[in-house]
Each structure stands twice: as structure tokens, then as C-alpha cells.
């Protein structure tokens, strides 16, 4: 049987079930994991590869072999059970670096998955590597809101959704990946991404038409977006999420929220949201009981910590040892030592100055400072783990920076440096990976201000002293090749970077060399990034309070004259402001109106959505407004209707 037919047959498999509940109730159990990130081997408490010594002492967690044991045990204990993966199984360990998805395919195919949704990191090495992964697996992989063109090697290899028969119930699994995957990863130009909320509303209608009685949204969009989906997509019962590495639990004081988070859908129906952190440390388990009307009657569960109480599957352990042999020796080499753990946690490095960010940015800048480079900017999302104190191995270094990025050097105007940093701090609230970890720079971020207006007090180190950045001057910048090509929203690097060289040494080698030259390394923070959260109104009140505290002179004829003049000035100012506002409103009204666009060579819907709607992810609105046109292939000369902004 062909792989496609095997996959199709699995997607409509009938699960024979029994239940001791009343006939009116239906019980559904879902096991789930997300953001596995190639943690084939067990991890330590810092999410890095666990040592053999720690494994012997029972200090390790997760790993695919331990996960296999836990899944098998829970499946045997449950009825009506599904196993789902919420994406990002690629990238994060030497197994992915070495085998490019082949290891993940081999081991995940033994878990008995009912479905997996794409994550953004599945596209890190382009469509071809992902297509090979799909070819090597037999479980259904949901492309969801990804529009895959016919010229992509992914065309025809995946499914839009899955429907599982459980007795008289039909359980639909629909999916979506974050809409900014094109910025975060490296899909080809033949793959576009629809806004998840827009897409999932249509997907619900499609699976209901196919007979679905219960609907699960398997998403890789992040916890905040999952809550939007729950509130805005009618008909979803359960959301299994990933992408933000959110930890939900009812028992841990480190949890980001309860498990499950319950919300209300557009029609008043209850919706459960669950997610299970990352890196194979937990296996999520949620039990949903539906009443006779199909609504959630109860939703209970808790992520299962995959600790030493789960004995790793022996067959997998043997195979992992075989595959790790070629890379083990090189990765066990000790390159340095650290006096204390180096914090690389995503909650730190995607929101503020972090120890790992300082280390990596310092290493980057030192490597190329002699080339006239003044500053380093590294995305916090590119730092994937912490390092514990003591000996630091090459394997730990590669786990921190696993993407095989190279150093990129280029020149950039000071004004564009500001734009880059504003992009970097624009998604702090969402935990965006674009947060800038820097060296050679100091600045303040006001998170109370809108994105694009948050950076102030920007200083650059020149000749050993910090001076205000000159927006008209040109500076030397070092970053990584992913960011230099526009990744994580740093498009200004791609469009305005000058004299660029993108083929420097590998970031992992730069980091390892820097550590070896500075061993023992002492982790530190030095205040290069200052976070404040003050509303503009509060700043004005502070200024007013200062004025109030100043001594006042007795009013004289001169001050009275000044006050009268000021009053006249204010009247003129108000009149001018009123007229300007009218003009602005007229301009805005014109801008909001629907337009037409004649297609020229090189046009695509993403760019047109950015141009006319201000947001590339809204390209699906243009596609809907032009149903007779193929969104994947725009014919030159065609007139498109651009919907109102």
C-alpha cells in the first residue's frame, strides 16, 4: 500500500471503544505533546542533553524512549484515546543537526500518533527536508492553514484535517500553524499561511459538513492565539496547543496557568485549552466528558512529568545509541567551565536581558570587533537552552545554538538600528523570539508604549565609552545569517544592510571558542537593557508634579500679558488641530475604501496585503475577495479587488 493510502487509512481509522458511562455521555481522552525539538535523548533540568551520570542517578527527564513507555502505559489504561503532536518536532539537538528529520521520523512513527500539525520549525531547512520527513512517516500530518503550491515538494503529501470514528462519534482534528512562519523559518515562496482564526472558522464548517460531532483544534500558534481561537472560532471543543512552550498545571507553582484553561466560545459553548510545555519533559493528558447535547460536561487532567519513574523503551534506547555513536565523541569534548548555571530560559531571553544573551552577543562581537563592528544583535529565540555550572561540553554549546547559523556582518544606518530594535521589542507580551540580545549597545524599553515607540536612551559603545547613537551615522553590525536575511521580522537587515557578508564562522564555533578563551566563565547581567512600564500619562503627571514643587512668583502685569498671549495661542492651536484632524479623517476614509490592483511581475498576495492592508498575514482576505483567481499563481495583468482596510 502506498504511503499516501496508508496515511489516509489511518486518518479515518475506526477505534473500537467501550465505556462504563451512561449512554448519554461520551468520554474522550487525549494524550499530547508539543515543541519536542528533537529531544531524542533524555534532558536535564536545563532542557539540555542529560549526561550518563545523571541518567544513572535518576536526574533525567523525557527523551523519546521514555515518552514511548509513558504513551504505551496510558493508552493501555484509557478508552477512546487519541495521541496528538502540536508541532515543532524539528530542531534543537545534534540528532536533527546530523540527520535532518530522519531520526525524528523513525522514532515518532513508533509512537502511534493519530495526527501531527506542522510547526514553524518544520520549515527550518526548507520544503524538501520536511517533504522527506513526511515520506518517512505513516501518521497523518495536518497542513491546516498552510497553502502549499503545486511546485513545492510538499504538494499532495499531507492532509487538511483528520476525522476519527469512535463508535457513533466522529472526532475531527483540524490544525493551524502560526501565520508568521514565513518570517520565523524558511518555507519556500510556494507556501503561504492564512490567519489561523480566519482559516479555522472555515475548517470547522468543512468538518461539520463531513459529519464531525466533536472538534479538536491542534495548533502551533501560541497560548495567546489559542485563547483568541477559543473566543472567535465557533464549534471547537478542545484546543491542543504549542509554539509558546506554555506550562499549564494544577499542581506546580511554576505553572503559567491551570490545566485545562476553560473559555467560552462565540455561541456560549465551553472550550478547553491545553498545552504541555516542551522538550519531551511532559506528556499531556486531558479527559473530556461530553453531555447528550455534545457540550463539555467536565474536563480534567494534568501533564505527566516524564521522570525516572518511567523506564525508557529498551529497543529505542539501543537504536538511539547506534545513531548517536558518530556524534557522541565530538560532543563530549569539554570546551570550558562555568562558575554557575548560565540562564538561557525562553522566559528570560525573549523578554529581557539574559545571561545567555550576554554571553552569545559578547562572543559574536569579540569575534569581529577588529573588522570595524560596533554592535551585536542576536534574537532571543535563537537561544534554545541553559547551561548548568561546571564543565561545558560541545554538545551543550550546540544545544544552545542548534540552528547552524553563521555570523553575518554588515553596515547599517543608526536610524535603521533603531528600527531593528523596535522590531525586536515589539512582541514582548507574546514572548516573541525576535527580542534582541545585544552587545555594544545600551537602551531602555518602555513596554507601556505601543510597538514601534518603545526604545529610548539608546547608546553605542565607541572607543570604550557609551555615547548616544547617531541616527545619521553608519555602524558596523554583527548578527546571524537568519536575521540578516529578514528572519524574525528583521527585514531592515535584508533591505538596508550594506556591505553584507553572510558566510562567517558557525555560531556554535564562535560560542565554544569564546568560552574556552574565558574559562572559567562567570555568567552576568550588566544592565545593558533596561525595562520600564510607564504610561505616557504617568510621565506627564510626574512632570506636572515636578512643576508643582517649583516655587511660584507673584503674578505681575508682564506675566498676565504672557498668559493672555498663551490663551490666544491655544485658541489658534485648537483651530489648527481641528482642521488637521478633519483632513486626517478624510485621508483615512479614502485609505479604508476598497481598491483595485493590476498584477505585475513578482506580485504575491503576502506583499499586496502588506502594501494595502498593512499586514502580510491578511493576504487571505484578498484571496477571498478574488475567488476566481489562483492565490498561488497570479497572472500578470489581472485586476484584483483589494478589500477595505
CB atoms within 10 A of CB 475: 21
3-state secondary structure (DSSP) of residue 56: helix
What's the pLDDT at 570? 52
Give the domain CATH number at 292: 3.60.21.10
Q: How do residues 145-186 score in pLDDT, each as one tens digit?
A: 999 999 999 999 999 999 999 999 999 999 999 999 988 888
Q: How do residues 417-459 score in pLDDT, each as one tens digit?
A: 999 999 999 999 989 999 999 999 999 999 999 999 999 999 9
CB atoms within 10 A of CB 519: 16
What's the pLDDT at 353? 98
Angstrom distance (rounded) from CA 579 to CA 568:
17
* Cβ neighbours for 100, distance < 8 A, ≥ 6 positions apart: 125, 129, 132
- pLDDT of 593 strictly over 70: no
What's the pLDDT at 130? 98
Asked if residue 426 is part of any domain, the answer here is: yes
Residues 344, 287: one domain? no
Per the DSSP assignment, residues forming a β-bridge with 442 are 459
Residues 338, 379: one domain? yes
**Cell numbers for 234:** 465557533
Residues 288, 343: one domain? no
What's the pLDDT at 605? 78
What's the pLDDT at 9? 42
Residues 287, 340: one domain? no
Q: With bands split at pLDDT 50, 70 and 90, how would you rate the model's confidence at 24?
A: low
* Cβ neighbours for 41, distance < 8 A, ≥ 6 positions apart: 49, 50, 63, 93, 95, 320, 324
- pLDDT of 610 strictly over 90: no
Angstrom distance (rounded) from CA 68 to CA 313:
6
Q: With bands split at pLDDT 50, 70 and 90, how would you rate the model's confidence at 501?
A: confident
Residues 153, 272: one domain? yes
Q: How do residues 522-538 score in pLDDT, each as one tens digit?
A: 999 999 999 998 765 55
What's the pLDDT at 283? 98
* Cβ neighbours for 47, distance < 8 A, ≥ 6 positions apart: 39, 278, 279, 281, 384, 385, 386, 399
Asked if residue 363 is part of any domain, the answer here is: yes
Angstrom distance (rounded) from CA 579 to CA 572:
11
Asked if residue 7 is part of any domain, the answer here is: no
Give the domain CATH number at 413: 3.90.780.10
Asked if residue 222 is part of any domain, the answer here is: yes
Look over the chain and give the mean of its residue pLDDT values, rounded to a whole number: 87
Of 482, 509, 532, the residue that ends a domain is 532
Of 496, 515, 532, the residue that ends a domain is 532
- pLDDT of 8 strictly over 50: no
What's the pLDDT at 506? 82
% of the chain at pLDDT higher than 70? 86
**Cell numbers for 205:** 464548517
Give the domain CATH number at 622: 3.10.350.10
Asked if residue 543 is part of any domain, the answer here is: no
Residues 207, 90: one domain? yes
- pLDDT of 6 strictly over 70: no
Residues 285, 357: one domain? no
**Cell numbers for 399:** 544545544
- pLDDT of 260 strictly over 60: yes
CA quadruple 121, 261, 31, 176: dihedral, nearest 10: -40
Asked if residue 221 is part of any domain, the answer here is: yes
C-alpha of 452 from chain center = 20
What's the pLDDT at 201? 97
C-alpha of 322 from chain center = 32
Residues 368, 505: one domain? yes
Residues 366, 403: one domain? yes
Q: How do residues 368-422 score in pLDDT, each as one tens digit?
A: 999 999 999 999 999 999 999 999 999 999 999 988 788 999 999 999 999 999 9
Angstrom distance (rounded) from CA 309 to CA 303:
15
What's the pLDDT at 329? 82
% of the chain at pLDDT higher than 90? 69
Residues 342, 313: one domain? no
Residues 184, 288: one domain? yes
- pLDDT of 620 strictly over 60: yes
The boundaries of the domain holding residue 490 are 334-532
Residues 85, 39: one domain? yes
Asked if residue 542 is part of any domain, the answer here is: no
What's the pLDDT at 3? 47
- pLDDT of 15 strictly over 80: no
**Average pLDDT, integer, range 594-607:** 76
Please, what is the Cα angle at 133 between 132 and 137, to 5 degrees? Answer: 115
What's the pLDDT at 493? 97
* Cβ neighbours for 18, distance < 8 A, ≥ 6 positions apart: 79
Q: How do residues 539-588 score in pLDDT, each as one tens digit?
A: 445 445 444 444 433 344 444 444 444 444 455 445 444 544 554 554 44
What's the pLDDT at 23? 53
Asked if residue 420 is part of any domain, the answer here is: yes
Of 486, 501, 532, the residue that ends a domain is 532
7-16, 96-105, 171-180, 365-374: range with lowest mean pLDDT: 7-16
What's the pLDDT at 94? 82
Tally of domains in the chain: 3
Angstrom distance (rounded) from CA 205 to CA 201:
7
What's the pLDDT at 633? 64
Amino acid at each position: 500500500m502506498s504511503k499516501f493510502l496508508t496515511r489516509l487509512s489511518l486518518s479515518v481509522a475506526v477505534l473500537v471503544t467501550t465505556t462504563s458511562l451512561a449512554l448519554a455521555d461520551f468520554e474522550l481522552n487525549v494524550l499530547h505533546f508539543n515543541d519536542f525539538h528533537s529531544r531524542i535523548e533524555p534532558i536535564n533540568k536545563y532542557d539540555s542533553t542529560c549526561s550518563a551520570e545523571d541518567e544513572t542517578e535518576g536526574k533525567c527527564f523525557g527523551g523519546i524512549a521514555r515518552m514511548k513507555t509513558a504513551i504505551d502505559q496510558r493508552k493501555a489504561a484509557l478508552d477512546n484515546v487519541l495521541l496528538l503532536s502540536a508541532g515543532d518536532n524539528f530542531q534543537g539537538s545534534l540528532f536533527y543537526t546530523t540527520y535532518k528529520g530522519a531520526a525524528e521520523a523513525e522514532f515518532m512513527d513508533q509512537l502511534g500518533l493519530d495526527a501531527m500539525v506542522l510547526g514553524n520549525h518544520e520549515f527550518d531547512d526548507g520544503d524538501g527536508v520536511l517533504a522527506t520527513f513526511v515520506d518517512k512517516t505513516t501518521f497523518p500530518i495536518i497542513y491546516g492553514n498552510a497553502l502549499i503550491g503545486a511546485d513545492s515538494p510538499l504538494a499532495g503529501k499531507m492532509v487538511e484535517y483528520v476525522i476519527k470514528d469512535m463508535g457513533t462519534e466522529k472526532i475531527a482534528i483540524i490544525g493551524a500553524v502560526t501565520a508568521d512562519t514565513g518570517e520565523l523559518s524558511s518555507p519556500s515562496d510556494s507556501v503561504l499561511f492564512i490567519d489561523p482564526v480566519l482559516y479555522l472558522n472555515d475548517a470547522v464548517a468543512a468538518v461539520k459538513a463531513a459529519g464531525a460531532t466533536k472538534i479538536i483544534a491542534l495548533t502551533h500558534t501560541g497560548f495567546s492565539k489559542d485563547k483568541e481561537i477559543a473566543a472567535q472560532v465557533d464549534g471547537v471543543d478542545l484546543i491542543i496547543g504549542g509554539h509558546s512552550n506554555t506550562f499549564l498545571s494544577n499542581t506546580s507553582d511554576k505553572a503559567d496557568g491551570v490545566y485545562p484553561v476553560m473559555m467560552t466560545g462565540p455561541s456560549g459553548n465551553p472550550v478547553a485549552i491545553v498545552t504541555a510545555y516542551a522538550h519531551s519533559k511532559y506528556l499531556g493528558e486531558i479527559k473530556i466528558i461530553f453531555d447528550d447535547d455534545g457540550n463539555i460536561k467536565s474536563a480534567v487532567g494534568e501533564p505527566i512529568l516524564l521522570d525516572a519513574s518511567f523506564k525508557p523503551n529498551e529497543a529505542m534506547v539501543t537504536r538511539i545509541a547506534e545513531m548517536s555513536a558518530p556524534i557522541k565523541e565530538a560532543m563530549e569534548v569539554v570546551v570550558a567551565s562555568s562558575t554557575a548555571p548560565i540562564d538561557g530560559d525562553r522566559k528570560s531571553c525573549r523578554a529581557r536581558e539574559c545571561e545567555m544573551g550576554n554571553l552569545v552577543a559578547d562572543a559574536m562581537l569579540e569575534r569581529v570587533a577588529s573588522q570595524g563592528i560596533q554592535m551585536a544583535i542576536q534574537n532571543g529565540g535563537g537561544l534554545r537552552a541553559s547551561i548548568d555550572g561546571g564543565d561545558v561540553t560541545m554538545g551543550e554549546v550546540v544545544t544552545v545554538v542548534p540552528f547552524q547559523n553563521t555570523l553575518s556582518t554588515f553596515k547599517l544606518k543608526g536610524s535603521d538600528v533603531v528600527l531593528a530594535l523596535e522590531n525586536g521589542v515589539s512582541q514582548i507580551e507574546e514572548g516573541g523570539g525576535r527580542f534582541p540580545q545585544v552587545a555594544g549597545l545600551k537602551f531602555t524599553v518602555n513596554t507601556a508604549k505601543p510597538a514601534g515607540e518603545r526604545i529610548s536612551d539608546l547608546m553605542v559603545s565607541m572607543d570604550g565609552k557609551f555615547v548616544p547613537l547617531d541616527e545619521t551615522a553608519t555602524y558596523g553590525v554583527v548578527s546571524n545569517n537568519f536575521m540578516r536575511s529578514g528572519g524574525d521580522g528583521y527585514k531592515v537587515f535584508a533591505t538596508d544592510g550594506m556591505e553584507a557578508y553572510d558566510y562567517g564562522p558557525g555560531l556554535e564555533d564562535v560560542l565554544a571558542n569564546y568560552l574556552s578563551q574565558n574559562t572559567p566563565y562567570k555568567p552576568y547581567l550588566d544592565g545593558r537593557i533596561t525595562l520600564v512600564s510607564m504610561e505616557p500619562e504617568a510621565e506627564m503627571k510626574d512632570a506636572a508634579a515636578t512643576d508643582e514643587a517649583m516655587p511660584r512668583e507673584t503674578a505681575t502685569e508682564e506675566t498676565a500679558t504672557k498668559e493672555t498671549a498663551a490663551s490666544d495661542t491655544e485658541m489658534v492651536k485648537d483651530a489648527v488641530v481641528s482642521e488637521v484632524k478633519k483632513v486626517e479623517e478624510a485621508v483615512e476614509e479614502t485609505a479604508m475604501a476598497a481598491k483595485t490592483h493590476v498584477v505585475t511581475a513578482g506580485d504575491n498576495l503576502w506583499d499586496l496585503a502588506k502594501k494595502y492592508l498593512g499586514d502580510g498575514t491578511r493576504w487571505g482576505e484578498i484571496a477571498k475577495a478574488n475567488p476566481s483567481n489562483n492565490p498561488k499563481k497570479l497572472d500578470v495583468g489581472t485586476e484584483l479587488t483589494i478589500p477595505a482596510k
